[in-house]
Structure 1
Amino acid sequence: MSPSATLACRPSCGACCTAPSITSPIPGMPDGKPAGVRCIQLADDNRCLIFGQPQRPAFCGGLQPSADMCGASREHALHWLAELERATAPG
C-alpha cells in the first residue's frame, strides 16, 4: 500500500466514508463511527453533506483519493481501506 498520485473522487463511491473507522465526532455521530458503517453525513448519492464545512472531521480531509486506494472500482476502494483499517488497528 504505497502512496500514489492524488485523483479526483469517483462519483457515487463513498468508500472512504464507509470503510474506515472515524474516532472523532461527526454531526449526528458524536462518538464517530466504526469501520464498515456508512457515515450519517453521506447523502443518497454517496457525496459528503458536510464537505468543506468546519464540522467535517480532520480525518476526512486528510484521506485523499489515490490510484492505489481507489483502484478501478468502489469495491477495490472498500477492500483497500478495510485492509488499511486492519493493518492500523490497535493491538
Structure 2
Amino acid sequence: MACRAGCGACCIAPSISSPMPGMPHGKPAGVPCIHLDAAYRCRLYGHPERPACCSGLQPGSEMCATDRDAALRGLAILELLTSPTPAPSGEPTA
C-alpha cells in the first residue's frame, strides 16, 4: 500500500514525543505537524532530521483505513487507548 495523496493522518492524529526541527518537545495529538506541506506531504521525508518514529511508519489498512477521515478517527482512538493515564489523586505512580 502507498500513502494516500492528501491524507497526512499519521502526521496529525498521534502525538510525537521525539524532538524535531521547530518542535523541540515533539507534537501533541490532533495537531498537524509543522512539517506537513499544503498537500499533507512531509517536508522532512528522506532527511536525517525526520524522527525515527515517523520513519518507521508504513502505510497499511490498519493505520490508513478506507479514507482520510476514517484514518484520523482510528488513529485518534489508538492515541487515546495508548496514552498514559494519570493515577487517581493520592495514589502513588510507578
Report SS of the residue matched to 2:28: coil
Write the distance in 1 (CA, Å) between the matches of 2:63 and 2:18.
22
Match for residue 51 of structure 2? 57
Match for residue 72 of structure 1? 66
| TM-score, normalising length: structure 2 | 0.86
1:69 Cα deviation after fit = 1.7
Instruction: Report how many residues are paired.
Output: 85
**Higher RCO (Cα < 8 Å, 6 or more apart):** 1
1:81 aligns with 2:81: no
Runs ≥4 residues deviating over 6 A? none
Question: Which protein shows a greater Rg?
Answer: 2
Write the distance in 2 (CA, Å) between the matches of 1:59 and 1:66.
16
Write the distance in 2 (CA, Å) between the matches of 1:36 and 1:82.
7
Report SS of the residue matched to 1:76: helix
Write the distance in 1 (CA, Å) between the matches of 2:27 and 2:56.
16
1:70 Cα deviation after fit = 1.1
Aligned pairs (5 A) from 1:19-58:
19-58=13-52
Report SS of the residue matched to 2:31: coil
Q: Deviations over 1:38-70 (max 9, x none)?
A: 000000110000101110001101221111221
Q: Deviations over 1:15-57 (max 9, x none)?
A: 0000000001121111101000000000011000010111000
